[in-house]
């Protein structure tokens, strides 16, 4: 009997929701014509009308969000298409340079591995022909020093700074052990080859240490040979020349220590975590557009760079607008509202926003607030994600878009939407332990009754002036309340 009663209630609930959905669809269809024909064309005069506010609270139709959101956000920064293209080109150029540098590093790593393998082969061959070579411990140390000084990859022949044909120029050459086969003629080295050779200095130093720590007893049976100071000086000069040429080719461009343009490298990593259920943001043209907008913003505001959470804001905007309009809205949103306090990780400003909400929470839902305090559930555990991504990471996408509508109507709806979530799930939070509350509040339901939810949001009648007064109060006590950082 209880199962039949429960099933009947579920069927009635589904019918009620279906009826509300049909009524809402009909209302939004009628509202669409009013938004398109009356409000948007006469925005400056219609925005403040009571009728517009009522329609706005009910949610902006999807078809006109691309027009209404940019109007609501504005363009106080004066971002023009030309300015957008300038920074977009700068971002693309830097991205190509970074890709080329990464390819060069990979190629250098491969070349270094090959050189190390060749070095090992040469050393093995020299060891095999040791009985046919007159080589004393002193000569071995001389050769090791030459390896360390020059950073060469291919011993055993270490040339002097003189030309290859020493006999014709009267220059001296260092006597070094040779393998039984003749070595190829030395040729002029390019900067790229010098870079590869110099990058193997670590391997060469290790090999040099092996020369130095060689078997002393074996050397007792060999002849003592000495290296002239002029020859050693020649090796040092050659090593200095190689290092100078390497520094000229590898010197990176000067970097402004206050610039955060290097954070652009984090964008690609973060995009795969942004709306993972939306495949078009994981690869394809929309993925590329989202990456380009965020990369352009990094170069437009290198003092801020890229911070995790920006991708959600840009992705929601990109659902409705073209890339240029998304960039304008994103730049002005971050400049106008609360976002920079969090993206700059400003402890004081973050504390003010968190404490403001905590005080509103205590004022509007005192019973639930006491329960949260009792179990140790603090507002920063869940509000940071909500405020930084404007609920787009936590709420279902259609509900989040409606929350954005309200936020663009009035900033106070950021706090009211957060209160609405707590009120909507009050019965599940009440008396639940910390673990259950934390799991639910950080993983909100995938399906939410839009009418019921925004009924909770709009049930809080808190004037903007009251919230501003609470913010001023929070600003005066936030450092003492939270300490130097959020609780």
User: If phi over 0 gives left and psi between -120 and 50 gives alpha, with beta otherwise, what is residue 431?
Assistant: left
pLDDT at 476: 85
pLDDT at 17: 75
Q: Please report, to the nearest 10 degrees, the dihedral formed by the alpha carbons of residues 396, 372, 408, 286 taken in order.
A: -30
Of 398, 407, 410, the residue nearest 453 (C-alpha): 398
b/e code 371-384 from CB counts within 10 Å (16+ = b)? bbeebebebbbbbb
- Compute CA distances 103 → 97, 98, 100, 110, 292, whole Å: 10, 9, 5, 11, 21
Axis crossing angle, helix 229-250 with helix 191-199, rounded to the nearest 10: 110
pLDDT at 150: 44
Q: Residue 291's CB: how many other CB atoms inside 10 A?
A: 20
- Compute CA distances 361 → 12, 176, 348, 370, 415, whole Å: 33, 82, 20, 10, 9
Question: Are 288 and 328 within 8 A, CB to CB?
Answer: no
Can you say how many angstroms the Cα of residue 373 is from the centroid of all Cα atoms in its chain?
Answer: 34
Q: What is the pLDDT along the chain (487 residues), one digit of tens a residue?
A: 777 777 777 788 778 777 877 888 888 889 999 999 999 999 999 999 999 999 999 999 999 999 999 999 999 999 999 999 999 999 999 888 888 887 877 777 777 677 666 655 555 555 545 444 444 444 444 444 444 444 444 444 434 444 444 444 444 344 444 443 443 444 444 444 434 444 444 444 444 444 434 444 444 444 344 455 665 566 566 656 655 655 544 444 555 666 888 899 999 999 999 999 898 899 889 999 999 999 999 999 999 999 999 999 999 999 999 999 999 999 999 998 899 889 988 888 888 999 999 999 999 999 999 999 999 999 999 999 999 999 999 999 999 999 999 999 999 999 999 999 999 999 999 889 999 999 999 999 999 999 999 999 999 988 888 888 998 888 888 665 554 444 4
Q: Is the peptide bond before 470 cis (omega within 30 degrees of 0)?
A: no
The residues near 111 (Cβ < 8 Å, ≥ 6 apart) are 196, 199
pLDDT at 209: 46
Q: Residue 34's CB: how many other CB atoms inside 10 A?
A: 16
Q: Which residue has the tokens 């989040």?
A: 400
Structural tokens at position 82: 């030309």
Q: What is the DSSP letter of 180?
A: S
Going 129 to 130 to 135 to 140, the CA torsion angle's sign is positive
Question: Are 139 and 214 within 8 A, CB to CB?
Answer: no
Question: Rounded to whole angstroms, how far apart are CA atoms 453 and 15?
Answer: 18
pLDDT at 480: 58
Can you say how many angstroms the Cα of residue 230 is from the centroid of all Cα atoms in its chain?
Answer: 54
pLDDT at 399: 96
Q: Which residue has the tokens 């461009």?
A: 253
Q: What is the DSSP letter of 49?
A: -
pLDDT at 46: 94
Q: pTM value?
A: 0.69
b/e code 47-83 from CB counts within 10 Å (16+ = b)? eeeeebeebbbbbbbeebbebbbbebbeeeeebeeeb
Structural tokens at position 91: 């971002």
């Amino acid at each position: 009997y209880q199962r039949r009663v429960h099933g009947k209630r579920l069927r009635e609930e589904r019918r009620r929701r279906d009826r509300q959905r049909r009524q809402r669809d009909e209302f939004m269809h009628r509202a669409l014509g009013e938004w398109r024909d009356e409000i948007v064309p006469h925005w400056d005069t219609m925005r403040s009308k009571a009728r517009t506010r009522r329609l706005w609270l009910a949610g902006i139709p999807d078809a006109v969000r691309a027009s209404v959101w940019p109007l609501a956000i504005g363009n106080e920064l004066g971002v023009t298409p030309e300015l957008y293209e300038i920074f977009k080109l700068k971002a693309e150029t830097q991205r190509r340079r970074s890709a080329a540098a990464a390819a060069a590093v990979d190629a250098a790593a491969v070349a270094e591995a090959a050189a190390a393998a060749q070095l090992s082969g040469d050393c093995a061959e020299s060891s095999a022909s040791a009985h046919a070579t007159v080589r004393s411990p002193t000569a071995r140390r001389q050769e090791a020093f030459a390896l360390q000084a020059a950073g060469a990859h291919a011993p055993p022949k270490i040339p002097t700074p003189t030309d290859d044909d020493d006999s014709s120029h009267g220059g001296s050459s260092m006597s070094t052990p040779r393998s039984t086969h003749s070595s190829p003629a030395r040729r002029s080295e390019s900067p790229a080859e010098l870079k590869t050779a110099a990058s193997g200095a670590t391997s060469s130093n290790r090999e040099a240490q092996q020369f130095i720590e060689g078997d002393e007893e074996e050397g007792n049976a060999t002849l003592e040979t000495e290296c002239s100071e002029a020859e050693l000086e020649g090796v040092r000069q050659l090593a200095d020349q190689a290092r100078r040429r390497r520094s000229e080719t590898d010197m990176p461009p000067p970097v402004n220590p206050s610039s955060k343009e290097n954070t652009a490298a984090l964008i690609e990593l973060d995009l795969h975590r942004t709306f993972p259920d939306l495949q078009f943001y994981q690869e394809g043209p929309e993925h590329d557009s989202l990456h380009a907008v965020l990369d352009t913003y990094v170069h437009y505001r290198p003092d801020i760079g890229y911070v995790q959470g920006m991708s959600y804001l840009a992705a929601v905007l990109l659902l409705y607008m073209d890339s240029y309009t998304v960039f304008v809205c994103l730049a002005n949103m971050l400049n106008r509202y609360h976002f920079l306090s969090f993206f700059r990780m400003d402890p004081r400003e973050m504390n003010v926003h968190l404490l403001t909400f905590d005080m509103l929470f205590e004022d509007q839902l005192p019973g639930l607030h006491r329960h949260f305090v009792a179990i140790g559930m603090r507002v920063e555990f869940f509000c940071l994600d909500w405020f930084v991504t404007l609920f787009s990471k936590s709420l279902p996408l259609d509900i989040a878009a409606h929350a954005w509508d309200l936020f663009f109507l009035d900033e106070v709806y950021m706090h009211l939407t957060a209160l609405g979530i707590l009120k909507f799930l009050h019965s599940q939070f009440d008396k639940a332990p910390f673990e259950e509350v934390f799991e639910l509040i950080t993983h909100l339901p995938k399906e939410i009754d839009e009418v019921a939810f925004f009924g909770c949001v709009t049930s809080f009648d808190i004037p903007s002036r009251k919230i501003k007064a609470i913010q001023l109060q929070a600003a005066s006590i936030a450092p003492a309340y939270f300490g130097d950082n959020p609780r």
